[in-house]
Amino acid sequence: MKKILTIQDISCVGQCSLTVALPILSSMGIETCIMPTAVLSTHTAFFEGYTCKDLSDQMEPIKEHWKKEKFSFDGIYTGYLADIKQIEIVKQIVKDFKKQDNFIFLCDPAMGDNGKLYPAFDEKFALEMASLCSISDYIAPNITEACFMLGVEYKEDYDEKYIEYLIYRLHKLGAKNVLLTGVHFDKKHLGIAVSDGNNISYHFEKRIPRMFHGTGDIYSSTLFGGLINGLSFLEAGILAVKFVTKAIKNTLDVADSHWYGVCFEPCLKLLTNYKYPNKK
């Protein structure tokens, strides 16, 4: 059985980060170890007065204990980091645990959306996050995150050239495989651009005209699970688009009471029943 480590926060209520990654990766048959970066009462969008306990000082002692125990992982997936100093700690964790050739490090530079950074972050944080992306096997930013990491102007309306330019610059940082989320060339479709450095492929689904928080974490968790279970980059990317789309459709029926995130749980069987190449 595959065993991975995911490093991101615990938002106790709100359907994002670890409370999303754990059920998704477990549904895909993957043992999911966690390193929490912070404990928050809720996520930082839509809620006022949320609490946040930064766990930076726990991360190195946890890592050192794991090294003594000789734990190993098939991959690491990082999401929301709570402080700029955690980026350096995460780099060291990846260095210490990246042993075998087929190890997968996916960085989701979770720090913004819709042209804005989340409240906890600034431009300096975004540039530091770019340095984590530069040592990643796979990265999955949205267009906002890509723009902040690269210092490129954020646009709502753009053409293929703009997307190609962002991808080119993300590869230039050092990221081997780049997936951009939230890509659209018309109002009716929404999807991804996937690049291995040689080829860019696109996949779109019909846009559901409603935004929900936490879709990025659902997306990256599914993408990572697909990669760990032996899907190609594009296959894993498409599975994740399909899963997010299904989960959003499911949320529409309960949106009034479930306004803070995506109600994805009834859709998990799609991931459990999927025929993965190397699921043992």
Q: Looking at 6, 17, 144, 229, which residue binds ligand PXL (CB under 6 A)?
A: 17
Taking the complex as a whole, how short is the minimal distance between the CB of residue 70 and ligand PXL, in angstroms? 31
Check binding of 167 to ligand PXL (CB under 6 A).
no
Rounded-to-integer distance, Cα 201 and Cα 196, Å: 9
> Would you count residue 11 as binding ligand PXL (CB under 6 A)?
yes
Residue 44 vs 195, nearer CB to ligand PXL:
44
- Interface with ligand PXL, residue 144, by CB under 6 A: no
The tokens describing 104, both together, are 């997968």
Regarding 45 and contact with ligand PXL (CB under 6 A), the answer is: yes
Euclidean distance between CA atoms 212 and 137, whole angstroms: 28
- Over the window 186 to 225, marking each residue x when it contacts ligand PXL by CB under 6 A and - when it does not, the resulting string is ----------------------------x-xx--------
Q: What gap in Å lies between CA 77 and CA 85, rounded to an integer?
A: 18
Spatial distance between the Cα atoms of 247 and 55, rounded to a whole number of angstroms = 31
Q: How far is the CB of 262 from ligand PXL (least distance, A)?
A: 10
- Provide the minimum distance between the beta carbon of 125 and ligand PXL in the complex, in angstroms, as a whole number: 13
- Supply 18's token pair: 């670890």
Q: Provide, rounded to whole angstroms, the least separation between the CB of residue 159 and ligand PXL.
A: 28
| Per-position DSSP letters for 174-220, written without gaps between them | T-SEEEEEEE-SSTTEEEEEEE-SS-EEEEEEEPPS---TTHHHHHH
| Span of 36-44, 91-99, 122-130, 225-233 interacting with ligand PXL by CB under 6 A | 36-44
- Which residue has tokens 């990246």? 98
Q: Alpha carbon of 118 to those of 42, 45, 110, 246, 249: distances in Å?
A: 13, 8, 9, 26, 25
State the minimum distance, in angstroms, from the CB of residue 246 to ligand PXL.
19
**Which positions lie near ligand PXL, rule CB under 6 A?**
9, 11, 16-17, 40, 43-45, 80, 110, 118, 214, 216-217
